[in-house]
Amino acid sequence: MSGLSDAQVQDAARRLHAAEQSRVPMRQLSGQYPGLTIADAYRVQDAWVSHKLTQGRRVIGHKIGLTSRAMQQAVNIDEPDYGTLLDDMVLSELQPIPSGRFIVPRVEVELAFIIGKDLRGPNVTVMDVLDATRWVVPAAEIIDARIERVDRETGATRKVTDTISDNAANAGIVLGGRPVRPTDVDLRWVGALLFRNGVIEETGVAAGVLNHPAEGVAWLANRLAPHGVTLRAGETVLAGSFVRPVDAAPGDIFHADYGPLGSVTLRFAR
């Protein structure tokens, strides 16, 4: 059941875009609309992405979030969420990342699946994902909050509907390391050490993502099928972080060490 009118959805999308442009987060939608549903939140997300497409942006793939059991329990949901990756989110290891384009950036590590042939649900399995994937690449994701994490007046923490509306906190993606074929390594046991300014902040293994990172990609293909969306050849799918997000500040240097798969480095400009 969806409760927001089309006008309310479009208004929320416009305010999200304004928050991103101004670098000033907006108040929580869950506070303004206490009955906001997950269906409403995805309508807001879709409206915001559609607005970006009219301004010349291009869809390059998708991201999956809230893949760990602990995170799902923390926000009281029983499945992951997802968002859309756009071309201007792709950043390079070779250039300093402009800190001023974000509000409250945080860094996560995960695996990126480069789709080699179309995947369309329903009934997509892990084996289908492995068969359809051209490369698996180490990645770092920058997430951000265009909606306040903590309400400036009430102190309320944002809800999952706020995060979904906010395009699942998408902000940036950096690929690096050594691309591998999906069956050349045991993806469940791909591990990463996340350093910030030379200090290990987080460690994890990819099995933390639904027991297998390809499981998230299968879930996404099946979840999008009723909406007529296919994971297209050439698209990138971020399969979900297997560490908690780590705050980033101007001048910070992040290094995600994936062992045999190489590393990804992010340098935030001062």
pLDDT over threshold 50, residue 59: yes
Lowest mean pLDDT segment, chosen from 12-21, 109-118, 136-145, 157-166: 157-166
Q: Concatenate the DSSP letters of all residues of 188-236 into one string.
A: GG-EEEEEETTEEEEEEEGGGTTTSHHHHHHHHHHHHGGGT--B-TT-E
Q: Where are the domains of the chain?
A: 57-268
pLDDT over threshold 70, residue 166: yes
Cα 200 to its chain centre, rounded Å, is 22
195-207 pLDDT, tens digit per residue, is 999 999 999 999 9
pLDDT over threshold 70, residue 70: no
pLDDT of residue 79: 78
pLDDT over threshold 90, residue 74: no
pLDDT of residue 77: 62
The CA distances from residue 35 to 29, 44, 99, 167, 238, in Å, are 10, 14, 35, 19, 30
pLDDT over threshold 80, residue 253: yes
202-244 pLDDT, tens digit per residue, is 999 999 999 999 999 999 999 999 999 999 999 999 999 999 9
94-106 pLDDT, tens digit per residue, is 999 999 999 999 9
What sign has the CA pseudo-torsion 223, 224, 230, 232?
A: negative
Domain boundaries 57-268, CATH class: alpha beta
pLDDT of residue 67: 79
